[in-house]
Structures are given as structure tokens and as C-alpha cells.
Structure 1
């Protein structure tokens, strides 16, 4: 998976998120128009509404604010040379969640009122929305920062076993992601978010049969759409998803050997975390995989870039452990 492909995948995911939030902001008031007054309360002084807008303005103004915000973030990110940096993802996540939650709170407050002055308070809804938005932003920043961790400098391996000079330590780090799985995760997440927003706005009941499957599908896609492999003196760690969880670990002493092998999805039964006659394979793209043969259990393979150096370093560490045993 090239850096350009990864960047395109991130950009498509961000674009889908922006478009989905835009649709929720604009469509939610119109979807409830039959149960709303001609003008909607849109501003409150404490628990009492003191400002209103016609329905079309209440629908389109937040959408316009979101569009300007998203374009500004994208423009600032490009000028800064990092269009998919941690602060960009954090801003888009927190901003989208907050605006969508606020819009749902406004619709619910005006629902089944004949006059906007009779609208209910939005204090609780906005407070909950703010907390969720901050949490979403923090997760987005954490995921973005983790994705920018630098790869430790390692000279190319000269064979199957890397030569490590006495007194030196070597670290190897590599990542791979599948932009299509990320895009599917965004789309299924948007369906769950739209259902949640409609329930928060009072348009429908909490339809767990709709929300839960799409939410779990989105979480599953994000959890296994990217993988990071790291080799240190301790051994091999393979972690999944933007937050590096879940993870699998093998100590250097428990690895018999490591190698590079070309594998295709058809060989292992498809994409993602697969179990087959070849053992366990984390398949995110066709091509070279880092394959380890552990002392216990089936072989484990992960489709990762620069697998040759990772295998060479693992073999060197395993040999060192065996020599010291």
C-alpha cells in the first residue's frame, strides 16, 4: 500500500464524513417539518427560547457553517503540509459531532410545538453533545498522532538474518491500511450516526435494530482496516486500528523463524483477519507478508510494507535469544 494510496483513502473517508454530516444537518429539520412550527427556536437565554428562525434557515444555516468549517480545516491542513494530520481529524470529528448533536437538540426542543416560544430547553442535550464531541476529538487526535509515529532507522538487511553490531539496538516499525475498508467504516458509521441523530431529535424511537448493527460494523471495519507491526528487543507486536487495539505479541524467544512470503486474498479466504490452512493472516493488501513461525500455534502472517527487514531483524533477535539460552 503506497503512501499516496493511504492518503487518498484518508481523504475519501474525510470527504464521506463531511458529506454525511452535511446531509444530517440539512435534512433533519425538513424530515420533521410536519411536527414543527413555522419558525423554530434556535437560541435560548437559560431555559427560555429568545430567538428563532424560519425552518429553511434553521436547516441550511448549520449546514453552511459546517461546510465553511470543513473547507477551512482542509485548506489550513494543506497549507500546513499535513492534510490528514491529527488536528485535522480531531477538528472534523469534534465539529461534526457537535453540530449534528446541537441540531438534533434544537429539533427535539421544537417538536410538536405550535409556537417557537413554547420550545423546551436544550441545555441537557447540548451538554451531552459537548462531552461526546470532546471525546470524539480526543480519539481523533490520538489516532492521528499514532499514525505519524516515525519509523526507526534501520539499514537494509543483507540476508535472512540482520547483522547487529555489539552494543547496538535495532527497531523496525511498519504500517499498512486498506482505504476501502476505511471508507466502508465511515459509511456504516454515518448510517448509525443518522439513526442516532433522528432518535435524539425525537423523529423516531431508539431503533437499536438499525443503529447497533451499523455501529458495530463501523467499529469492526476501523479496528481491522489498518495494522502496525513493530519489532524490538522484546519481540514482535502487531496492533490493529487507529488506537493500536487489539494487539498480539510474541517474545523473540518464542519465535522460531520469520520470513517474507507473497500472499493473495484468494489464498487465505478474503480480506481482514483470516484463518485458513496457511494459519492466521491479516490481509489488507496483496503482496509481501511478514510470516512468523512460533514455537506454539499456527503460523501468523501480516501484509505489511518492508517485511524483509522486519523478518531479518526478528531472525537476528531470535538467534540471539537462542544463543543466550
Structure 2
């Protein structure tokens, strides 16, 4: 990494850590501004949409929310400068710290601000302000977005194919995701239990939204039970073999690097179809798979039995070592 990039990364990490200090500063500044007007007790708990059912002394509630917003601030600054932490781990830590910091600040502001308006803490109604307390959890997105993105580390496959001047290559494989089949069956059983009585009683219209959502979820999961993976002059394509729906397409000219690697679910967010910032994957099991890095530094991975062959083929086609679409030669291991 160049000195310029290193300085930019340190600056962004510093800003991300500083953003985690904002919630605790809001708590402190608001307390300093309101301390002469605060009653002895503040509303601290609501069981529903009605009035508060519990209250706390100002000092106790202040200390609680200072801890809830202050600990993430200290931890965020430490994480910003602690060596040996990967960019991916650092971003995830920023997010979770921001969630707690944001909730701590908003909890204090709502309790103190609403109680000052009403006077009696047991008559404070949270009402629509509950939406603000929920949205506050999204504060973690701010340091997450500021923090430097993980640098993509990828290597290019070395193997290449030799084609005649008029030949090009094509490769395809159908893979089965047993886990998607079991999940689809589970959703069908769950949907039958939840919505079956309504269907039998002719009350489909009453449960239409829930039935529609469940049906869409079943169809989405079922589309991944059998996948057709193809590599040819168009690039890499993943199509649902059941519904003939294209699920992923990476154009050949958009491919930067291709590698066959050992895929571990823990490194890709678990099993199934995974979507993460800058990365997506179809992980069916621990084992061999194909990783494609695009020119905009995004990655896609998929579990395959023979990833070396499509990796070599796509690298050959990308490098222009075959003809444009014409006589297609089926490539095998």
C-alpha cells in the first residue's frame, strides 16, 4: 500500500472512531443544558403505547446511558488504532458499537426531554417517538460507511487452455443444494400450519399478505435447489435449473481475476446464498469453489466440484486466447 493510501485509510479509521464519540457527547451536552430543568426522576420504561410504568433517578439514568454510549466511544477509538485487526472485522465492530451508542443517546434524550415536557414521569407517553428509538439503532451504519472497505485479496489462476484460431470454449455444471430443498420443505410445512386453517375456512383474503410473503419465500428458496453454472464467451452465469431464472451473471469483460479455492462458510457469512458488502456467494458446503473478482473489486464465489476447469476457461477467454463465438468446444476436466 502506498503512503497516500495508508494516510487515507488512517484518516477514515480516525473519523469512524470519532463518529462513535458523538452519542456520548450528545448525552453530556444535553445534560449540561438541561440539568437545572430536569425533575428528580425520569421515565425509564414503557410496556406498551401507554404511559411509562417505571422511573429512575436522574443520576442513575444518566450513568446508565453514559455507559451505554461511552463504552462504544472508547472501544471505537481503540479499535481504530489497534494493530492487527482486519478491515472487515473493524467495520463489523464499528457497526455494533454504533448500534449501542446510538440507542444510549436516544434513550437519554427521549426520557429526559419527554419528562421535562410532562413533569410527572409516570404520565409520559412514548407514542410515535418509539420509531425514533428504533431508528437510533441504525447509527451503526455511519461509522461502518466511513471505515475503509476491505481490500480484495485475490490471485489469478495460472492454467490456460489452447484453442484453434476458430475455436472457443464452453463449460457447464449442474449443482444441487440439498439445504435449499430442506429449507423449502420446512417453509411449506410452516406455511401449511400457519395459513392452512384460513385456506380451509375460505378466509384467504384475510391472510392474503402473509400467504403471499410465504409463497414468495418458498419460490425464492426453491430456485436455488438446482443451479446450472455456465462459463463461456459471455462470462459466468448461474441460472435456476428449476425455474430457468438467471440468478447471477458476470460479463467476461467485467472479470478481473479468477481463482479456484477452498471455500469455508465461516469466511463467507455462512451457508446458502450470502450477500455482504462487496461480496456475494452461493455456499453449499465447505470445499472447492470458484471465486471471481470483478474489475470494480467485487467478489462472487460459488461451490463447485471442479472449479479449476471453469477458472482456467474464463481466464483463457478473458485474455483473448480464443475466437469470438463460433465453433464451441466443450471443455472438461
- If the TM-score is normalised by the length of the shorter chain, which range does it land in? 0.3 to 0.5
Q: Structure 2-normalised TM-score? A: 0.44
Larger Rg: 2
